Structures are given as C-alpha cells and as structure tokens.
Structure 1
Amino acid sequence: MTDERLTKERLRLWLRMLRVTRQVESALRERLRTEYDSTLPRFDVMAALSANAEGLKMNELSRRLRVSNGNVTGIIDRLVEDGFVQRIAIEGDRRATRVCLTETGQESFNGMAAAHERWVNTLFEEVTEADAHHIGELLHRLPTDTRTIK
C-alpha cells in the first residue's frame, strides 16, 4: 500500500472509531438519563470514587478524570446534595477536602455500574469474545503519548 493510501486508510479508521464511540456514548448517556436520572460525567465521578474507597482529594479526582476542578466541583456539589458523596476535611490543610461515596452513593453506583455493563454488552452483542480480544490488542498498538504527533 502506498504511503498516501495508508494515510487515507488510517484516517478512515479514525473516523470509524470516532463514529462508533459517539454512538455508544450517546446510547449510554440516554440510558443513564432515562433510567437513573443521571449523566455520564456523574457516573464517571462515582466510578472513580467507587474505585477509591478511602476517597480522593478534589484535585486528584480532576486529574484522574482529566477535567477541570470546576467541572468536578459542580458534579460533587450535586452528589453531596443527593446524599451520594460526602466531603471530609483534611487535617492540617484547611483548603483541601477529600470526597468519598456514602453508603447510599455506593449502592446507587453499584446499580448503575451493573446496568452500564449490561448495556455495553448489548451494544456489542455482535462482537465475539475472540474479536473483542483481538480488537483490544490492536488498539493497544495506538500511541497514548500525543506528543508524538508531528
């Protein structure tokens, strides 16, 4: 394959990946909205907190989710209002707080996470286990360091 054809084929691959990602994300957003009155960013915050039972500082949470502190703060404010998250003062640092899921928040997240897994499974029902593994292996070849872009 010529360099130009290879470049075009890679561009088509990227566009296919982007289209599929957007379609799956749209379906998941809609399901979270209609079945749990929730959002994907809210789900992502709860997932990060669920994976860290001791909680996370707000800046740690922002860094893990790769979003601004302001975006996380608004989501955390609503989760606190709903009784799903609690803020814990960090001794010796009056400016910092740690946030963690409450028992109610963990229970709510567990239900959403189980549903999320079922939804993804349904969305990918035409993909065999072998195909899923192979596609995953191929995707691992893609660079994760964007500094390599020239």
Structure 2
Amino acid sequence: MNLNESNEDGGAQELDLASRLTDDHHQSLKLWLRMLSCTVKIENEIRSRLRAQFGVTLPRFDLMAQLERHPEGLRMGELSKRMMVTGGNVTGITDQLEKESLVMRVPDPRDGRAYTVKLTPAGRRAFGRMAAVHEEWITELLQDMPAADKGQLIDLLSQMKKYLVARDDK
C-alpha cells in the first residue's frame, strides 16, 4: 500500500515520517545534530591550527595524547580502541611518528609478536608544547560561553554519558 491508498475503512492512510515521530524523536535528533555540529566546528578549527602551527595532523596529535597519558606505553590494539580507528590507521600513524623519532616500538615481553608504543623523550617534549597551545586554543574557542553554562553543559553531558553506558550494559 502506498501512502495515498485508502485502508479498509476508506480513510486515507498517513504514514509519513513526521507522523510516526514523537516530540522526543525530534528533540533527540535535534540534540544529536547540535552536538555534532559544535564538535565538527571545533575539531575543524583545531585540525587547521595543528597543521598550520605544528605541521601535525589531528590523528597524530591524538595518538601522542594517548601515549602521554600512558607512559608505560600502549599496544597497537589498545591504541586503535582508544582512538576509535582501525589498526591499519594506527600502524600508519605510528610508522610516521617513529620515522620522526617521536615514538618507539618496544617488543611486548608477554607476546613476542606484539609491540608496545611509547613516546620518546623528543616525543614527550614535542607533545608537551603542542598540548599547551592546544589547551589555549580550546579556551579561546569557548571563552564567550559563561562559566556557569559550561558547568551545566558538563553536568548534562555527564548524565548523557551515564545513560549511554547503561544502555551498553543491557
């Protein structure tokens, strides 16, 4: 039956998308799109600034940030999971950073086939400089938002994360 056909009682059937959605559907979609647009806008600006000032891509910065948080290093699979990218992407980024002596691969003593990736001392210094400037950029980009609004948004997004994690646990 198409949307213009009559049902058995003779009435026109109206099953367009809008009639099936509730107000919560619209609100949820609007929320998702608003969060996504804000994230993309900030991310694009950070990407551009990282490339212009440091000659580094955002994925390279992200990989170094993960390693900074884990001085003991991370296995490739763990990096892939934390960065939410494929293992091939992590391998490519790691290869580039290793050529520049910013990271090193250390054979994993538990598994001779696996490697742990660590920042080198030069990598720590380079990342430290980038991270400090990155923090300034984020502060600058969000400076016009009042502190109370930032606090409220952090609280609300924390609640959202709890709801999403609870769904994953079901």
TM over 0.5: yes
What is the aligned partner in structure 2 of residue 144 from structure 1? 164
> What does the per-residue CA deviation read over 1:99-141, in whole Å, with 9 as the maximum and x for residues that have no partner?
1000000000001111110001011011122111100111122
What is the aligned partner in structure 2 of residue 36 from structure 1? 54
> What does the per-residue CA deviation read over 1:18-50, in whole Å, with 9 as the maximum and x for residues that have no partner?
111110000000000000100111111000000
Equivalent AA in structure 1 for residue 129 of structure 2: G
Stretches of structure 2 that go unaligned for 5 or more consecutive residues are 1-20
| The one of 111, 116, 130 aligned to 1:93 | 111
Q: How does 1:45-56 map to 2 (within 5 A)?
A: 45-56=63-74
State how far apart, in whole Å, the 1-side matches of 2:110 and 2:151 are: 47
Greater RCO (CA < 8 Å, at least 6 residues apart): 1
Which has more radius of gyration? 2
Secondary structure at the residue paired with 2:105? strand
With normalisation by structure 2, the TM-score equals: 0.80
> What does the per-residue CA deviation read over 1:51-73, in whole Å, with 9 as the maximum and x for residues that have no partner?
01111111111122122111100
Stretches of structure 1 that go unaligned for 5 or more consecutive residues are none
Secondary structure at the residue paired with 1:144? helix
| The one of 8, 11, 14 aligned to 2:32 | 14
Number of aligned residues: 146
What is the aligned partner in structure 2 of residue 133 from structure 1? 151
Deviation at 1:13, TM superposition (A): 2.0
